[in-house]
Amino acid sequence: MGKALFYHLTRSPAEVLLPVLLTKALAAGWRVELRGPDAGRLDRLDQQLWQAEGFLPHGRAGGPHDARQPVLLTVPGQLAQNAPSCLMAIDGVEVAPPETTALNRTCIIFDGGDSAAVDRARDQWRALTAAAVEAEYWSEESGRWERKR
């Protein structure tokens, strides 16, 4: 069932795109796992999400109310206890094909100015599409987000 959307950042950082994507996911009625590479990165995202315009309810994995969190921030290896319908992965964290097919949506967000991040996204694209996961590529190169074919 899953679908993977790859977001190629060229004009703005992930911190600008994430509130937009999270708002859309919550409006769709989905719970979200936001997976980052390490605790330090999640600390910064946690602060930025609390300061974002509008209210984006979220929590860090490992708390007593994980199952109730609309958006749960995790690191690789942590189980998302909030029964997510959507996974948002940043900074090249691993996304396995079986977990993608179990979700409504997987968003892979990568920095186009980092050649290692671009290579990692290409590897993820190949792995997911080889596993028959439907994938889309989105770019902000023109100044607004557009699906590329």
Digits of tens for pLDDT over the chain (149 positions)?
689 999 999 999 999 999 999 999 999 999 999 999 999 999 999 988 888 777 789 999 999 999 999 999 999 999 999 999 999 999 999 999 999 999 999 999 999 999 999 999 999 999 999 999 999 999 998 889 999 97
Asked if residues 9 and 141 have their Cβ atoms less than 8 Å apart, the reply is: no
Q: Which pLDDT belongs to residue 1? A: 65
Spatial contact of 69 and 33, defined as CB atoms under 8 Å apart = no
Q: Which two tokens stand for residue 28?
A: 């769709």
Q: What is the pLDDT of residue 55?
A: 75
For residues 35 and 89, give the distance between their C-alpha atoms in angstroms, rounded to a whole number: 5
What are the residues whose beta carbons fall under 8 Å from the beta carbon of 120, sequence distance 6 or more? 92, 110
pTM: 0.94
Residue 34, both tokens: 């936001």
Q: What is the DSSP string of 37-100?
A: SSHHHHHHHHHHHHHSSS----EETTSTTGGG-SEEEE-TT---TT--SEEEEETT----HHHH
Which long-range contacts link 112-121 to residues 24+ away (Cβ below 8 Å)? 112/8, 112/9, 112/10, 112/139, 113/9, 113/10, 116/92, 117/91, 117/92, 118/8, 120/92, 121/6, 121/8, 121/92
Backbone angles phi, psi at 134, to 5 degrees: -65, 135
Domains in the chain: ranges and CATH: 3-148 (3.40.50.10110)
